[in-house]
């Protein structure tokens, strides 16, 4: 697996990371612990060195899982986690007060069985706490050696600039894929200007771009895609056109739609490191295979031309969650 540097930070990560949220939270029942540890360790054996979690993923349970799984090779991997929700519960709103940031860091260090957090993200911008205070709190943690790098998630341009002026931001984590390309307009030029890396989450469109989801798919009642407008039955049917395009391109390359979607992301910028998540070993291996798929300039032109004719239907978040992003 090739490595990439996130912007000017010097933080080196595997070209593809592993988003661990779905092992504990968000996509139905939690994965069996032994199976989850096996999946995380298999990712490492295949060259993945970049692992993403958060306090808010099952209120610390995902961090604890990751800490146990990565303990044997802690010094060979980069662990990213996040602060920013009251009591680690996304339903209770944001809380990025400096005192809370310090508390989250100390609790995360214990759960992760480590003495430092490699990349500490603000999970969502908190409108009630000045960005300078947030960045200052993380700067203090960096000076204490508890944190190595500062990151932000789903932040808007002004917040990124304000934070970066106090403590350089190593990476921005936001949604980005062939079916959500909004960051290209304003955020990419800013990241390039400031030397900030980009970590796309949901690089496979929350599973949709794999081709495994259709209009007839039913999700577990605890799966948050049930409330995502883009995943309504009607919109899934309409959005199938994008998957059909990927399938056609993939067939010509001897690859899968998921591999093409990930290879496309990797081809956009050298400072991009996607973090696809999965609970299945065969999907993990499929995703990792994308890192070896080199798309030519002609391949990329064909993809751009084909997807340009597809208008993706449905918002990516319900209104109450959309209000938290891009601040």
Active site residues: 57
Beta-bridge partner residues of 198: 172, 272
* Residue owning tokens 């990419």: 188
Cα 258 to Cα 249, 268, 296, 308: the distances in Å are 11, 16, 17, 18
Cα separation of 16 and 266, whole Å? Answer: 8
CB 284 within 8 A of CB 155: no
* Cβ-proximal residues to 216 (8 Å cutoff; 6+ apart), any chain: 233
Cα separation of 182 and 77, whole Å? Answer: 30
* Cβ-proximal residues to 85 (8 Å cutoff; 6+ apart), any chain: 55, 56, 92, 93, 94, 95, 123, 124
Locate all alpha helices (DSSP H) within 47-172, ordered by sequence: 61-70, 98-111, 131-143, 157-166
């Amino acid at each position: 697996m090739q490595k990439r540097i996130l912007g000017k930070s010097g933080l080196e990560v595997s070209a593809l990371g592993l988003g661990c949220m779905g092992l504990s939270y968000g996509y139905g029942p939690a994965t069996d612990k032994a199976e989850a540890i096996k999946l995380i360790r298999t990712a490492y054996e295949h060259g993945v060195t970049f692992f993403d979690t958060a306090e808010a993923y099952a209120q610390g349970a995902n961090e604890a899982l990751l800490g146990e799984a990565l303990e044997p090779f802690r010094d060979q991997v980069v662990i990213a986690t996040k602060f920013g929700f009251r009591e680690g519960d996304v339903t209770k709103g944001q809380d990025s007060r400096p005192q809370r940031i310090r508390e989250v860091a100390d609790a995360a260090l214990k759960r992760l069985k480590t003495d430092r957090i490699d990349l500490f993200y603000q999970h969502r911008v908190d409108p009630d706490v000045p960005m300078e205070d947030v960045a200052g709190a993380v700067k203090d943690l960096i000076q204490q050696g508890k944190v190595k790098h500062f990151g932000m998630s789903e932040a808007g341009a002004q917040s990124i600039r304000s934070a970066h002026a106090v403590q350089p931001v190593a990476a921005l984590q936001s949604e980005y894929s062939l079916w959500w390309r909004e960051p290209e307009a304003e955020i990419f030029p800013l990241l390039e200007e400031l030397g900030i890396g980009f970590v796309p989450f949901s690089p496979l469109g929350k599973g949709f771009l794999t081709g495994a989801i259709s209009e007839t798919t039913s999700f577990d009642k605890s799966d948050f895609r049930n409330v995502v407008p883009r995943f309504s039955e009607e919109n899934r049917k309409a959005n199938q056109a994008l998957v059909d395009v990927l399938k056609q391109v993939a067939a010509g390359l001897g690859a899968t739609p998921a591999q093409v979607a990930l290879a496309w992301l990797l081809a956009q910028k050298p400072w991009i490191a996607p973090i696809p998540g999965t609970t299945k070993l065969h999907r993990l291996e499929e995703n990792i295979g994308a890192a070896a798929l080199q798309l030519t300039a002609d391949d990329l032109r064909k993809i751009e031309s084909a997807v340009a004719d597809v208008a993706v239907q449905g918002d990516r978040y319900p209104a109450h969650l959309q209000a938290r992003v891009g601040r």
